[in-house]
Structure 1
Amino acid sequence: MGNMAYDTAGAGPTPAASPWAAVGVSAFEETVYRAILHQPDAGAAGWALLTGASPRRVREACERLLVLGLLQPPDSMGGLRAVDPRVAIRALIRRRETESELIAATAEEMATAYEAGLLREEPSRLVEVASGEGAIAARLEELYARAEHEVCLFDTPPYLAPPAPQVDLQADLLRRGIVSRGVYAATALEDPKVLSRAWRMAELGERARVLPVVPMKLLVVDGCRAMLPLTSSAAGGYCAVVIWHSAVTEALQKLFEMAWQQATPLGRPVEDSELSEGERTLARLLAAGMKDEAVARHLGVSLRTLRRRVSELQERLGAASRFQLGMRAAQRGWV
């Protein structure tokens, strides 16, 4: 029967700590089940002898094993039969997984009520101020780690801290299968490093769009937690505010959705034999809403050359304006 320990009350052998407890099977129930597997036809009296317990206690354990699905219901002769352990234990594990998911869902509901109660008792808990690069990085890491469904962000200058840590957090987020949506200010994408980072994120799966102006830097996680800077210049130091689930975070999520609807998609175009690599890059930069000067710097050409190339591209697409050029390029999947 394996490694057994006997209790001093004479109730019978008790197995050492067993992983069966994880699926709701007690030590004595496991002992009875093993006895049934060892001698299927012994009946309650025989299994009582094997376990050293009373027939009544064995029958109670059998009733529990029936409920757990480890035994088959009595046959026409009134006998019990064990279910194949490989089948029965997998079923128990699936049941426990389902129960765990239900408990987790209940925990989220309770946590919402808990946070609401704390806010009513002490409204100052709604807002947390993080000062310094280290504190802000720690809060960012926490927010990204707690994300379960979606992260939304506004990206706009000035940049008060190096973007590298947030890039790594976003990349990890996308690998976890969390949806990431970003709205970039066109002025931000005039910086080659920011543009390269935006394209990298788009390649990893971020859904990115562009607006001429973005109202502020903002991060909203699952529509219920938000972070935004309090300082507008490096001279003011690094300082940000974290806002927990409230009407404020709901309003910030709505602000993001309004901007998202108005923004233009940003992304690498699909390959198209009609366009050279330079023309595809030009189409992307124009669709991002950049000014001519910024586009010329990216391409390393003069303003005169740039405007000539734009005019040629408009002519090829039959576009009367740069706006129409962007629309038609998008329709062809070039941007």
Structure 2
Amino acid sequence: MLSDVLGLTPEEADAYRTLVSVASATPAELAGLVDCDARRVVRILSRLEGRGLAARSLGDTTRFVASPPASALRALLIQRQNELNLAELELDSLDEIYRAATIGRGVTEVVDVIHGTEAIREHVRRIQLGARQEIMNFVKAPLFSPGNMTDDTAIERGIRYRVIVERALFGGEGPSFGEIAQAQASGEEVRIADTVPLKLFIVDRELAIAPLLGSANAAKAGALLVHESSLLDALIALFESEWNRATSFATSAGALRNVPAIDDLDAQVLSLSLTGLTDQAIATQLRTSLRTVQRRIRHLMDIAGVHNRMQLGFHAARAGWLEAEQNGGGAASRLRVVPPVSATTTRRSAGQACW
């Protein structure tokens, strides 16, 4: 943490942390405590002294003492905060210059071509890290980029993250029910569609990345980086249209409205059934038996007073069973059915691999 936040090297941070824990130490004694060469420790202590984090003992100048962390580190922290404030001012200035330049973009400058899988991944990672308001993502089969391209800190930074997952990804290379539930619990908004028209990644309604081709070789061929333009407006409108048509995803009984006498498993079976999955696929996703799924669907049909799946879907839509989430989007409507995953925990996002 000291090295990350205050700009200390790992060796400096380790030496200072050790020096804080003892009354005083000579370079040789400190070298033994941190398991480092004594001559190297002398240089480290010299740098710490220059930063105001260490000082020579008044009684014995060969010994070093740590400066009080509360005062010494606060000074470094204030300095770093000032540097970040100046960097933010510079960023705002550069952003204004960039926006002014984009107004004069020609037709050929509205779209850039990204060549190669690694370049695509890097662009997605970079614009995602720079997101300020919202990320919109179509997740479509086939997936051919294995690693996690989702910035797990985006939700923590207050970024709205909306993902539409193509139904064909269930039971295969795409996210599982548990992973989608976990993503929703962390703040993502996830919906399921029969199909989505293309792979698409939009950040802040200012930039979009879309593949050049629709086949499994699309990433090898490249992708389009679309800047603010009527083309980007059309892609945003396409996402919003698909979002309104896609099926919400409930993972608990509390996420449904006006549905009496059901539990969380009923809600999960209903959600997966409304996405069009078969009974066997639902059983696989929920790690339960086919017979259990069929019994739960029969129970749901009895509650709705209907005789088949089509009628159940129609009744669920008409009665607004998923309306609380459909009309949501704010923090109050997000599901919290499993504990949020900390930043140090590896999780797979519903929009983890869009290429």
- TM-score category of the 2 structures, normalised to the smaller one: 0.5 to 0.7
In structure 2, what is the equivalent of residue 179 of structure 1?
160
Per-residue deviation at 1:137? 1.3
TM-align CA RMSD: 3.6
Per-residue deviation at 1:285? 1.2
Select 1:322's aligned residue among 297, 312, 323: 312
CA contact (8 A) 2:253 2:263 kept: no
CA contact (8 A) 1:144 1:221 kept: yes
Which structure has greater helix proportion? 1
In structure 1, what is the equivalent of residue 128 of structure 2?
144
Q: Quick check: which has more Rg, 1 or 2?
A: 1
Per-residue deviation at 1:222? 1.1
In 2, Cα distance between equivalents of 1:318 and 1:286: 17
CA contact (8 A) 1:160 1:233 kept: no
Per-residue deviation at 1:290? 2.2
Select 1:160's aligned residue among 141, 144, 149: 144
Per-residue deviation at 1:151? 0.9
Alignment of 1:301-312 (within 5 A): 301-302=289-290, 306-312=293-299
Post-superposition Cα deviations, 1:114-156, rounded to whole Å, max 9, x if no partner, equal 1232x22xx4333222233321111011110221111111112
Q: How many residues align?
A: 235
Alignment of 1:282-293 (within 5 A): 282-293=269-280
- The more displaced of 194-203 and 265-274 is 265-274
Alignment of 1:226-241 (within 5 A): 226-235=208-217, 238=220, 239-241=222-224
Select 1:221's aligned residue among 196, 203, 208: 203
Post-superposition Cα deviations, 1:205-248, rounded to whole Å, max 9, x if no partner, equal 11222222211111111112000122333356533221122211
In structure 2, what is the equivalent of residue 201 of structure 1?
183
In structure 2, what is the equivalent of residue 65 of structure 1?
none
In structure 1, what is the equivalent of residue 111 of structure 2?
127
Relative contact order, CA 8 A, sep 6+: which one is greater? 2
In structure 1, what is the equivalent of residue 249 of structure 2?
266
Segments of structure 2 that go 5 or more residues without pairing to the other structure are 1-83, 326-334, 338-355
In 1, Cα distance between equivalents of 2:174 and 2:246: 21
When residues 98 and 173 of structure 1 are mapped into structure 2, their CA distance, relative to the original with a 3 A threshold, is closer
Counting aligned pairs with the same residue, the percent is 24
In 1, Cα distance between equivalents of 2:88 and 2:122: 29
In 2, Cα distance between equivalents of 1:193 and 1:235: 18
CA contact (8 A) 1:189 1:288 kept: no
In 1, Cα distance between equivalents of 2:241 and 2:299: 34
Q: Secondary structure at the match of 1:161?
A: coil
TM-score, L = length of structure 2: 0.56
